[in-house]
């Protein structure tokens, strides 16, 4: 690792010298300056990683040097060296942004510790700022691609939401339509962006865990609660929490959530005192919550409370105008990632992706393009590079011959792939009619649908 460079500005040679010796021993590269002028020249020439500055210097005062350093780069920790009776100056220096001060006579070991801590904390600060900037960029509103009226409406809505600081948002849409993307964009475009963004998927966790994840618990709240746990709402104070798949939240937890939204305060599980936090709640669901309410699985009052601002993202098949735009965007993205130079889609491939119904929405399109870019070695994505279900309806040269032969290829073939192929072929032959396709494979319609769901052709919860 590169040595940290320290600058010591002190006119008392003995001080500068002992400090230099100690810091050099501790692995610093040290420069010294005896007066303000040479200190400022040295800083301008070669920015140090840390500076020790005596408040009393023969020419320019230490405070002036501090201002100079901060003006040039506020990331450099400045440690003031003060004599007895200069407490006021030390206080002024701290107010102006000095990292710390040490008083003469000082303990050299302590000084070395302060110096290392200062460098480490500035490094961590820089890293955090860098990560935050990156997060903001990757999750900016510009990362939401599409030119259909529907997507433009969503973008307009986001712009309005980010102006108001606290409103609750409900994002509805099928799986893969971009609910997560929109949720994050709302957080990172809002004034809350410097505070945490936390998300929780209510489906992925066992029901009872959701509540303690959100609200936290006190030590001893239940058998396994060996220590206090801070929940997401507390951790995200000042920021936003995305409650993903809220349709799967237990009724009991829904009640507690509703109370929290209304009062902005809650109790940890097993806790007695109220905790007040300020978070924006962004809820997302791919379920039809109205349906869930009818079936008694979702609280109606919570639904209306969440829905202060609703965003509905249409499935991709209902905004066909976005398909080619998104495809182009993903081609560029994966070209970069895999160092390819694929120019675009052949007209047949375009036709195929335009007429496909995209049950997995944008996520599926993204995966299809990624796969095609990996397979394609020349200029254009051809229909051969697309999965069979996407191509359905557009004849591929020689495809019929290959797929209807039941000869096992030399290297073998996964049975699942054969099954998938045959299912799609049967559907094609039957012109999409499931009963006729089932007959062609000697299956009941129910068994056909079961298999179509298994291969992802139909959504798992698709009904007739």
Ligand X SMILES: Nc1ncnc2c1ncn2[C@@H]1O[C@H](COP(=O)(O)OP(=O)(O)OP(=O)(O)O)[C@@H](O)[C@H]1O
Cα–Cα distance measured from residue 11 to residue 20, given in angstroms and rounded to the nearest whole number: 13
Other Cβ atoms within 10 Å of 97 Cβ, number: 13
Residues 192-221 contacting Mg ion, CB under 5 A: none
What whole-number distance in Å separates Cα of residue 449 and Cα of residue 464? 10
Measured in degrees and rounded to the nearest 5, phi and psi for residue 169 equal -125, 140
Judged by CB under 6 A, the stretch of 4-12, 17-25, 179-187, 304-312 that binds ligand X is 179-187
CA 86 to chain centre: 48
- From CA 307, how far away is CA 292, in angstroms rounded? 15
Task: Show the binding pattern over residues 381-410: x = contacts ligand X (CB under 6 A), - = does not.
Answer: ------------------------------
Among 145, 205, 235, 394, binds ligand X (CB under 6 A): 145
Task: Decide whether 36 or 178 has the Cβ nearer to Mg ion.
Answer: 178
Is-contact 283 168, C-beta < 8 A? Answer: yes
Min CB(177)–Mg ion separation in Å? 9
Q: Which of 10, 49, 180, 211 binds ligand X (CB under 6 A)?
A: 180
Cα separation, 105 vs 235, whole angstroms: 42
List the beta bridge partners of residue 55: none
**From the list Mg ion, ligand X, none, partner contacted by residue 62 (C-beta under 5 to 8 A by kind):** none
Among 77, 173, 216, 239, binds ligand X (CB under 6 A): 173
CB of 205 to Mg ion, least distance (A): 14
> What stretches of 264-406 show up as alpha helix (H) in DSSP?
289-294, 300-306, 321-338, 347-355, 361-375, 388-391, 399-404
Q: Could you say which residues in the range 349-368 bind ligand X, by CB under 6 A?
A: 362-363, 366
Shortest gap between Cβ of 88 and Mg ion (angstroms)? 56
Longest dimension (CA), the chain: 99
Please report whether residue 178 would count as binding ligand X according to CB under 6 A. yes
Is 179 a binding residue for ligand X by CB under 6 A? The answer is yes
> Taking the complex as a whole, how short is the minimal distance between the CB of residue 330 and Mg ion, in angstroms?
18
By CB under 5 A, tell whether 180 contacts Mg ion.
yes
Contact window for Mg ion (CB under 5 A) among 31-39, 76-84, 127-135, 171-179: 171-179
DSSP 318: G
144 binds, among Mg ion, ligand X, none (CB under 5 to 8 A by kind): ligand X
Residues 6+ apart with CB under 8 A from 185: 139, 140, 141, 143, 144, 158
Query: What whole-number distance in Å separates Cα of residue 305 and Cα of residue 150?
Result: 24
CB count, 10 Å around CB of 385? Answer: 22
Does 7 sit near ligand X (CB under 6 A)?
A: no
- When CB distances are held under 5 to 8 angstroms depending on the partner's kind, the choice from Mg ion, ligand X, none that residue 36 binds is none
Q: Which residues bind ligand X (CB under 6 A)?
A: 144-146, 173, 175-181, 286, 362-363, 366
Q: Which residues bind Mg ion (CB under 5 A)?
A: 179-180
């Amino acid at each position: 690792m590169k040595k940290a460079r320290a600058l010591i500005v002190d006119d008392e040679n003995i001080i500068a010298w002992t400090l230099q010796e100690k810091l050099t021993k501790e692995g610093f590269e040290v420069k010294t300056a005896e007066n303000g002028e040479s200190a400022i020249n040295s800083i301008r020439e070669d920015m140090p990683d840390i500076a020790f500055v005596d408040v009393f210097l023969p020419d320019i005062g230490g405070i002036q040097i501090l201002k100079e350093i901060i003006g040039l780069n506020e990331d450099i920790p400045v440690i003031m060296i003060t004599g007895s009776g200069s407490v006021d100056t030390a206080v002024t220096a701290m107010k102006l942004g000095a990292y710390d001060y040490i008083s003469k006579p000082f303990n050299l070991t302590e000084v070395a510790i302060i110096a290392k801590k200062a460098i480490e904390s500035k490094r961590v600060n820089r890293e955090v700022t860098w990560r935050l900037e990156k997060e903001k960029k990757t999750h900016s509103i510009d990362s939401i691609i599409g030119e259909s009226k529907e997507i433009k409406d969503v973008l307009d809505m986001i712009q309005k939401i980010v102006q108001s600081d606290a409103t609750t948002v409900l994002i509805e849409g099928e799986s893969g339509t971009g609910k997560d993307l929109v949720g994050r964009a709302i957080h990172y475009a809002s004034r809350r962006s410097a505070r945490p963004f936390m998300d929780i998927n209510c489906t992925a966790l066992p029901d009872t865990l959701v509540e303690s994840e959100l609200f936290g618990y006190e030590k001893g709240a239940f058998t396994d609660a060996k220590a206090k746990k801070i929940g997401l709402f507390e951790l995200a104070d000042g920021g936003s929490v995305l409650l993903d798949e809220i349709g799967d939240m237990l009724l009991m937890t829904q009640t507690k959530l509703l109370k929290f939204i209304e009062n902005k305060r809650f109790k940890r599980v097993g806790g007695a005192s109220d905790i007040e936090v300020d978070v924006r709640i962004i809820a997302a669901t791919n379920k039809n919550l109205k349906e869930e309410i009818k079936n008694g699985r979702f609280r109606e009052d919570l639904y209306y409370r969440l829905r202060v601002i609703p965003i509905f993202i249409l499935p991709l098949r209902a905004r066909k105008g976005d398909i080619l735009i998104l495809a182009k965007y993903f081609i560029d993205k994966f070209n970069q990632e895999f160092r390819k130079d694929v120019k675009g889609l052949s007209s047949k491939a375009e036709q195929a992706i335009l007429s496909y119904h995209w049950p997995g929405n944008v996520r599926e399109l993204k995966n299809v393009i990624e796969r095609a870019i990996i397979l394609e070695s020349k200029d254009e994505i051809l229909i051969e590079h697309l999965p069979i279900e996407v191509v359905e309806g557009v004849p591929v040269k020689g495809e019929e011959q290959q797929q209807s032969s039941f000869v096992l290829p030399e290297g073998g073939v996964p049975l699942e792939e054969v099954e998938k192929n045959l299912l799609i072929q049967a559907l094609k032959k039957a012109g999409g009619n499931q009963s006729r396709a089932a007959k062609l494979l000697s299956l009941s319609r129910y068994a056909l649908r079961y298999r179509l769901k298994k291969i992802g052709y139909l959504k798992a919860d698709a009904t007739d």
